[in-house]
Amino acid sequence: MGQWNRLNAITRLLGDDCVQTLLRETTQEPMSAAELTEACAASRATVYRRLDELTDRELLVEQTRPDPEGHHHTVYASNLDRVVIDFVDGEFEVRVRKQERAADRFTNFIEGLYDE
């Protein structure tokens, strides 16, 4: 994807009020789709579309939350750390930095041991 397309996709996504609410709410704690629908001033279908877009881009991650009755529910947690847009030599450069989970850090550490 060209940088212009990527810039347009990121700014369109992050400019959406529902997306901003989803990221803000899930930064505090993982939340279910039902809880996020209550937090957003959008329809249930819109919230689900935005959740799909954000998880496809790995800006939200799905987690499993058990409940006291032994069932499991999907919750969403923000994975976005930073978006940087630079303008260098007449071109936009878009970098999206995601939070690195502890499990990923451990895996990268172990894999690094075997690469040497």
- Domain borders along the chain are 3-115
Between residues 78 and 7, the one the model is more confident about: 78
Assigned fold of 3-115 = Arc Repressor Mutant, subunit A (1.10.10)
Mark 48-67 as b/e (b = at least 16 C-beta within 10 Å): eebbebbeeeebbbeeeeee
Q: Is the pTM of this model over 0.85?
A: no
pLDDT band at 58 (very low <50, low <70, confident <90, very high): confident
